Amino acid sequence: MRLFIRLRVVLFAFFLSLFVLLQAKAAERPNVVWIVVDDMSPNFSCYGETTIQTPHVDRLATEGVRFTRAYATSPVCSTFRSALITGMYQTTTGTHHHRSGRGEHRIALPAGVKPVPELFQEAGYYTCIGSGLLDSDFRSQPLTDRSSKRLGKTDYNFDWKPSIYDDNDWSGRRSGQPFFMQVQLHGGKLRGASAGGYAAFEQQVNNLVGGVTDSGDVLLPPYYPPDHILMKDWALYLDSVRVTDHHVGRVLQRLEKEGLLENTLIVFFTDHGLSHARGKQFLYDEGTHIPLVIRGRQVQAGHVRTDLVEHIDIAALSLAAAGITIPDWIQGQNILANDFQPKHAVFAARDRCGEAVDRIRSVRSEKFLYIKNFLPTRPHLMPSNYKDSKLIIQRLRELHADEGIGQLGEKLLFSPCRPAEELYLYLQDRWQIHNLAENREYTDELLRHRQLLNEWIRRTKDCGTESDDVYVLETDDQIKDMKNETARKKYRANVEIYKRWAREGI
Percentage helix, strand, coil, to 5, in the chain?
40, 15, 45
Map 78-110 to HEC letters: HHHHHHHCCCCCHHHHCCCCCCCCCCCCCCCCC
Q: CA angle, corner 293, sides to 255 and 314, nearest 5?
A: 95
Mean pLDDT of 401-423: 97
Identify the helix (H) or strand (E) that includes residue 425.
Answer: strand 421-425
Helices 228-257 and 391-401, axial angle in degrees (round to 10)? 160
> Could you tell me the sign of the dihedral formed by the alpha carbons of 333, 336, 339, 340, in that order?
positive
Asked if residue 19 has pLDDT above 70, the reply is: no
**Contact of 38 with 271, CB cutoff 8 Å:** yes
Burial (Cβ within 10 Å: 0-12, 13-18, ≥19) of residue 497: middle
Q: Mind listing the pLDDT tens digit for each residue in 159-177?
A: 999 999 999 999 999 999 9
Please write the tens of the pLDDT for every residue from 98-121.
Answer: 999 999 999 999 999 999 999 999
The domain of 175 spans: 2-504
Sign of CA dihedral 99, 105, 110, 116: positive
C-alpha span between 213 and 116 (Å, rounded): 38
351 Rama sector, left if φ>0, alpha if ψ -120 to 50, beta otherwise:
beta
Count of domains forming the chain: 1
Query: What does the pLDDT read at residue 145?
Result: 86
pLDDT of res. 28? 83
Rounded to whole angstroms, the Cα distance separating 108 from 157 reads 9
The pTM of this model reads 0.94
Largest Cα–Cα distance of the chain, in whole Å?
Answer: 100
CA distance 298 to 79: 30
CA distance 108 to 159: 6
b/e map 219-239, b = 16+ CB within 10 Å:
eebebbbebebbbbbbbbbbb
Q: What is the pLDDT of residue 313?
A: 98
pLDDT confidence band for 20 (50 / 70 / 90): very low
C-beta of residue 372 within 8 angstroms of C-beta of residue 361: yes
CA-wise closest residue to 499 among 464, 462, 463, 474: 474
Taking a C-beta distance cutoff of 8 angstroms, is the pair 274, 167 a contact?
A: no
Q: State yes or no: pLDDT of 48 exceeds 90.
A: yes
If you ran DSSP here, which 8-state letter would residue 142 be given?
B
Confidence of residue 379 (pLDDT cuts 50, 70, 90): very high
Amino acid letter, residue 387: K
The model's confidence at residue 6, banded by pLDDT at 50, 70 and 90, is low
Q: What CATH number should be reported for the domain holding residue 348?
A: 3.40.720.10
Region 326-340: what's the mean pLDDT? 98
Q: At what angle do helices 468-480 and 485-504 cross, to 10 degrees?
A: 170
Instruction: Collapse the DSSP code of 128 into the 3-class scheme (helix H, G, I; strand E, B; otherwise coil) and give the result.
Output: strand
- Over residues 406-428, mean pLDDT: 98
